[in-house]
């Protein structure tokens, strides 16, 4: 098969991969890296910096992206017009401790929606080196509460179970802040 005759097949294979497997489309096909990812896919990333307990900046396909963790909510530390909340600095510190320094390899896994109304990527965040599910660890440590926003609910039941365990054991914000 000659190159001009093979081109439609190559395009078809790339499009199928993007639709079925969350593979980013190359720019020449109208894709823009992470912005072209389909929900339920995943992508390799590198930590740039931790913003707070449930938001980071990560390098994805050579571009910096704000990433909001799916399924959890930590007390505020940097939200405009909102005072720093009880346990917010500790949740931020725990998130930073779990992720380590800038450049740490991450895997971002997506649910049904790729972005929120603020344009942030919505992801379940994993450390690439050992597969630690960071969202779940923050919940287990009592640094977060569940935040279920449909349709991004793939891990909602597990996160709720971890939240109950942290509450029962009075870990983190559950002992430091009283009954939130």
Active site residue 76: yes
Radius of gyration of the chain (CA): 18
Out of 65, 76, 109, 140, which one is annotated catalytic?
Answer: 76
DSSP secondary structure, 33-95, as one string:
GGGGPPTT-EEEEEEEEE-SSSEEEEEETTEEEEEEESEEE---SS-TT-PPPTTHHHHHHHH
Residue with tokens 């793939």: 154
Could you give the CA distance from residue 96 to residue 76 in angstroms, rounded to a whole number? 15
Which residue, 124, 160, 117, 142, is CA-closest to 41?
124
Cβ count near 116 (within 10 Å): 14
Active site residue 64: no
Out of 65, 68, 127, 145, which one is annotated catalytic?
Answer: 68
Active site residue 40: no
DSSP label of 34: G
- Contact between 138 and 95 (Cβ < 8 Å): yes
Out of 94, 109, 120, 140, which one is annotated catalytic?
Answer: 120
Strand 121-127, strand 71-73: pairing: unpaired
Q: Give the residue numbers marked as catalytic.
A: 68, 76, 120
């Amino acid at each position: 098969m000659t190159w001009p005759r093979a081109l439609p097949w190559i395009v078809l294979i790339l499009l199928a991969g993007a639709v079925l497997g969350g593979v980013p489309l190359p720019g020449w096909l109208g894709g823009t890296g992470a912005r072209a990812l389909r929900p339920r896919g995943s992508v390799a990333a590198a930590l740039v910096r931790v913003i707070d307990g449930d938001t980071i900046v990560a390098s994805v396909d050579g571009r910096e992206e704000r990433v909001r963790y799916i399924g959890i909510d930590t007390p505020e530390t940097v939200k405009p017009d909102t005072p720093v909340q009880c346990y917010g600095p500790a949740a931020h510190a725990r998130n930073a401790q779990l992720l380590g320094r800038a450049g740490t390899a991450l895997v971002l896994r997506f649910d049904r929606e790729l972005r929120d109304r603020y344009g942030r990527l919505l992801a379940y965040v994993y450390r690439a080196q050992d597969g630690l599910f960071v969202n779940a660890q923050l919940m287990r440590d009592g640094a977060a509460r569940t935040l279920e926003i449909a349709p991004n609910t793939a891990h909602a039941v597990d996160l709720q179970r971890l939240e109950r365990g942290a509450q029962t054991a009075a870990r983190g914000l559950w002992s430091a802040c009283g009954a939130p």
